[in-house]
Each structure stands twice: as C-alpha cells, then as structure tokens.
C-alpha cells in the first residue's frame, strides 16, 4: 500500500540551471527543515517552506517536549514580499 508521498526528485528536474516541474498534478510542495533543539532537549523550532508562492512562504513552529511527545507552543505562517 502506497503512502501517497512523493519525493522531491519525482516532482522537479534540475536542468539548465533551473528546476522544472515534472508532475502536473502537484498543487503544493512543502519542504520540512530539521528542527533546532535546545541544549536541554525540551524545546525545538522548525521551519516549513511552502511552494508555490509568488515570493515564497514559510511556517515556523516552536515546540515544547511534554512527556513522550511534543506540544506546539507557537506558530506563524508568513508570506514574503
């Protein structure tokens, strides 16, 4: 059973110094960044890049460890001008 996830190299092909979409059914591409974790391991910040957007967009999440999981304590979605 497929998860439905598509890897970046399935969506875009790098040719002639630019990326070209190769999957016409794709509506949005979200790139997840590895989180930055505090020294004590109880807080983290991560960024998601969202495309397409005219000048770019991103979501920033601040997380706090609670027990065996993480709780979102702040989030912001930004459009770049």
Do 81 and 74 form a contact (C-beta atoms < 8 A)?
no
78 to 34, 50, 52: CA distances (angstroms): 19, 10, 13
| pLDDT tens digits for range 42-55 | 999 999 888 777 77
- What digits encode the pLDDT tens for the residues 35-81? 999 999 999 999 988 877 777 788 999 999 999 999 999 999 988 87
Dihedral sign (CA 17, 4, 47, 58): positive
| Nearest-angstrom CA–CA distance, 40 and 12 | 38
Tokens describing residue 31: 């790139």
Please name which of 33, 29, 41, 28 lies closest in space to residue 70, comparing C-alpha atoms.
Answer: 41
């Amino acid at each position: 059973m497929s998860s439905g996830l598509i890897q970046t190299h399935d969506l875009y092909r790098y040719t002639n110094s630019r990326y070209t979409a190769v999957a016409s059914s794709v509506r949005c591409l979200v790139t997840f960044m590895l989180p930055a974790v505090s020294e004590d391991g109880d807080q983290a910040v991560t960024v998601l890049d969202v495309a397409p957007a005219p000048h770019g967009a991103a979501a920033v999440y601040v997380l706090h460890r609670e027990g065996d999981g993480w709780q979102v304590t702040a989030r912001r979605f930004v459009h770049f001008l």
